[in-house]
Chain A
Amino acid sequence: MTDLEERLTQLPDMGPALDLDRLQAELARRASRAGLLDVAYASADSPLGKLTIFVTSRGVVRVAYENEPDDLLLEELADGVSPRLLRDPRRTDAARSELEEYFEGRRHSFDLPIDWSLVHGFAVGVLRATARVPFGRVTSYGEMAAEAGSPRAARAAGNALGSNPIPIVVPCHRVLHADGGLGGYSGGLHRKRFLLRLEGTLPA
């Protein structure tokens, strides 16, 4: 290696280390303002562990418990909504504070708009009906199927609820078996029990 080449391997001054948080915040802010940020997300702590919340200009599009790996989640949103996706706590502020109030018992219904982009087919009717089940009440898979226009499709309604992309906000935990059994919950039954206890529908 010549002397010149040797000198070229030594950057004289890298300057201060790259501040990734600042880069990220500034990028998200400018992208948002330019209308280039389709999906913003951030995580929030909750009594049920870390929640990852995704929002679009239309509303909350996805809420995930920590049992879903980040990389798969991001891919799901990139494929299902838009690959113009960035971490941006600021854009998820409203959703995060409503969830926080809910877990503190100070909020019984969400004012957040919902983006239904990830919901398709029969599940649309089932989950829209579920979104109307109020705090402190429970209902059954069969009733939700009926609300969606197919009273005999309780099993299909169960599948639709199992794939609810916006748990807690769309309260699929309020849907139980007609015989009173808990049914299922994609976040794990311990989380369903916790939410029902929080709402006073299951004894503590």
Chain B
Amino acid sequence: MRLPPFQSLVDAHAGELHRFLVGCVGYPDAEDCLQETFLSALRAYPNLERPDNLRAWLYLIAQRKATDAIRLRQRRPVSDLDGVPSERLSVPAAGLADDGLWRAVHRLPSKQRSAVVHRFVFDLAYRDVAARMGVSEEAARQNVSAGLRRLRLEVSR
């Protein structure tokens, strides 16, 4: 199967992948993740075995880059952020402010995080969430509901 010129993937998907990554990791890290996503994709590109769903393939790479960024963040203490001690930056006890909610989204298991972002940030039907993730509609639905369950727990904590 013929591979399209890589530039056409960048032109077609950079915008939506960026929005996806803002949902997955927040905006300061999203652009770096996008850069890493395209670079990894370009590295693997000529040897793809099944280049039939390039968009889902790009989203899968972006999902991995998001997970890497979040792991790195969790290992790195944030205490020096504007001199505020890290415990003050953590999630407040009663309910979650919106930024706290999004930090909870970032910490979801990767598939749940991707599914929640596709479903709500992009307002997609489960069929389309499934297509972007390269999974079945049923799997997309399960990942969204598992993600929501976890987020509800955090919100009510």
**B151 near A11: Cβ-Cβ < 8 Å:** no
Q: Does A179 contact B (CB under 8 A)?
A: no
**B42 near A31: Cβ-Cβ < 8 Å:** yes
Q: Does B125 contact A (CB under 8 A)?
A: no
Q: Does B64 contact A (CB under 8 A)?
A: no
**B121 near A8: Cβ-Cβ < 8 Å:** yes
Q: Provide the residues of chain A in CB contact with B123, threshold 8 Å.
A: 9
Number of B residues, CB within 8 Å of A: 40
The A-contacting residues of B in range 84-104, CB under 8 angstroms, are: 98-99, 101-102
Measured between alpha carbons, how far is A84 from B16 in the docked complex, in Å? 21
The residue in B8, B121, B155 that gathers the most chain A C-beta atoms within 10 A of its C-beta is: B8
**A18 near B18: Cβ-Cβ < 8 Å:** yes
State how many angstroms separate the Cβ of A2 from the closest Cβ of chain B: 8
Q: Does B148 contact A (CB under 8 A)?
A: yes
Number of A residues, CB within 8 Å of B: 36
Measured between alpha carbons, how far is A203 from B129 in the docked complex, in Å? 65
Q: Which of B5, B14, B116 contacts A83 (CB 8 A)?
A: B5
A18-B31, A23-B14, A26-B35 given as contacts; is B120 within 8 A of A8 (CB)?
Answer: yes
Using an 8 Å CB-CB cutoff, how does the interface string of B144-156 with A read, 1 for contact, 0 for none? 0000100110010
The A-contacting residues of B in range 1-33, CB under 8 angstroms, are: 2-8, 10, 14-15, 18-19, 22-23, 26-28, 30-31
**A27 near B22: Cβ-Cβ < 8 Å:** no
A36-B42, A36-B43 given as contacts; is B6 within 8 A of A83 (CB)?
Answer: yes
**A8 near B39: Cβ-Cβ < 8 Å:** no
Chain A: CB-nearest residue to B51: A83
**B27 near A14: Cβ-Cβ < 8 Å:** yes
The B-contacting residues of A in range 17-34, CB under 8 angstroms, are: 18-20, 23-24, 26-27, 30-31, 34
State how many angstroms separate the Cβ of A197 from the closest Cβ of chain B: 35
Measured between alpha carbons, how far is A71 from B3 in the docked complex, in Å? 13
Q: Does A87 contact B (CB under 8 A)?
A: yes
Q: Which of B19, B35, B46 contacts A14 (CB 8 A)?
A: B19
Q: Does A82 contact B (CB under 8 A)?
A: yes
Q: Does B105 contact A (CB under 8 A)?
A: yes
**A34 near B43: Cβ-Cβ < 8 Å:** yes
A7-B98, A83-B46 given as contacts; is B39 within 8 A of A27 (CB)?
Answer: yes
Measured between alpha carbons, how far is A74 from B2 in the docked complex, in Å? 13
Q: Which of A26, A30, A78 contacts B2 (CB 8 A)?
A: A78
State how many angstroms separate the Cβ of A8 from the closest Cβ of chain B: 4
Q: Which of A5, A13, A78 contacts B4 (CB 8 A)?
A: A78
State how many angstroms separate the Cβ of A41 from the closest Cβ of chain B: 8
**A86 near B8: Cβ-Cβ < 8 Å:** no
Q: Which of B8, B28, B45, B101 contacts A15 (CB 8 A)?
A: B28
A-B contact pairs, 24 of them (CB 8 A): A4-B152, A4-B155, A8-B101, A8-B116, A8-B151, A9-B120, A10-B98, A11-B121, A12-B98, A15-B28, A15-B30, A18-B31, A23-B31, A30-B35, A36-B42, A37-B42, A75-B4, A77-B5, A78-B3, A78-B6, A82-B46, A83-B3, A84-B45, A86-B7
A27-B39, A37-B42, A83-B46 given; name 6 further pairs at CB < 8 Å: A13-B99, A15-B22, A74-B7, A77-B5, A78-B3, A84-B6
